Amino acid sequence: MERGLAIDIELAAREFLEEMRERGFLWTKEEMVGVNPLPTLERVLELMKEEGIENWRGVLETRHERGTRRVKG
């Protein structure tokens, strides 16, 4: 089951990165959050680093916001 999840994350991250490449790396945070779970955003960051893509700041900011949200209680 974990292997299947890892494959899904990899495919989703590569698809998202390709879509963003086609759009000139222009996206909104809402688009990133709405489509991509946190593990996918983390993999997108890894792929961008591996490929030397410099437009990573927006993905990192979104990942950080999603990973550090606090629940009001």
Instruction: Burial-class residue 44 by CB neighbours within 10 Å (0-12, 13-18, 19+).
Output: buried
Cα distance between residue 72 and residue 54, in whole Å: 35
User: Which residue stretches of the chain are H helix?
Assistant: 2-22, 29-35, 38-51, 57-67
Residue ranges making up the domain that contains 45: 2-67
- pTM of this structure: 0.72
Residue 7 lies in a domain: yes
42 touches 67 (CB < 8 A):
no
Residue 44 lies in a domain: yes
Residue 72 lies in a domain: no
pLDDT in tens, 2-33: 888 899 999 999 998 898 889 887 777 777 76
Confidence (pLDDT) at 66? 65
- Grade residue 55 by pLDDT with cuts at 50, 70 and 90: confident
Residue 61 lies in a domain: yes
Work out how many domains the chain is built from and give that number. 1
Residue 73 lies in a domain: no
Q: With 70 as the cut, is the pLDDT of residue 70 above it?
A: no
Residue 27 lies in a domain: yes
Higher pLDDT, 34 or 41: 41
